[in-house]
Amino acid sequence: MLEKRITVFVGAYGSGKTELALNTVQMIAPHYSQVAIADLDIVKPYFRTREFHLRLVQNNVRVIMPTGVMAQADLPALPPEVYGVLQNENIKLILDVGGDDAGATALAQYHSYFVAPHYEMLMVINTCRPFAQNPTEIAELMERIQIRSRLTVTGLVSNTNLGAETTAEVILKGHKITQEVARLTKLPIAFTAVDKRLLAEVSPFLEGEIIPLTRQVLPPWER
């Protein structure tokens, strides 16, 4: 899982990129001497990686994010430290990118630092989101993200969920659509993300790697 030095999560707004970034970076942290996560969300966000800064630091994860007055600003401000971690070959890096093709624009300024085969850009698919409910729509969004980011998507992540309302049926239905996207785009499904509460129920019906998620990104009414 996430064998490349740099892993980028892209996808539709609300597809669960931040949740994936948080879970995966904490999962891999014990296996690397240096791990970092960078918040590249330049679109006005609902959830942001930077809100989980303290928890990540306690898990020996370096967090690259705006500081000072810019930390809470809904402005397209990216920290200069991003360049440093992109160039440092000793750092395992996770990038949490803003939603849709607009959010992926933030990657374009760094595209020269992404050299194959040292990075992977994973398209996160949540078919419960608007405009992400059929393979053609998803493939078209993926193409726009590639154009705006000037990078290439290398794999897919099946991440269909409805937050606390997620059921096994929701996950499996969404996974079938992700499989159709894989066939349409000729890209592999890197892994399926599953709420750990439903892991035992859906695992027998899924092929390939499965990553259990602990819900950390909660809406205000669940906190």
pLDDT digits (tens, 9 = 90+) for 114-163: 988 899 999 999 999 988 889 999 999 999 999 999 999 999 999 999 99
Q: In this structure, are residues 85 and 53 in contact, taking their beta carbons and an 8 Å threshold?
A: no
Q: Give the residue with greater pLDDT, 76 vs 92.
A: 92
Q: CA dist 95 to 38, 82, 92, 164, 200, Å?
A: 5, 10, 10, 25, 29
End-to-end CA distance of the chain: 30
pLDDT-based confidence at 44, cuts 50/70/90? low
In Å, how far from its chain's centre is CA 128? 16
pLDDT digits (tens, 9 = 90+) for 72-85: 444 445 778 999 99
Q: In this structure, are residues 123 and 91 in contact, taking their beta carbons and an 8 Å threshold?
A: no
Q: CA 35, CA 152: separation in Å to the nearest integer?
A: 23
DSSP code of residue 133? S
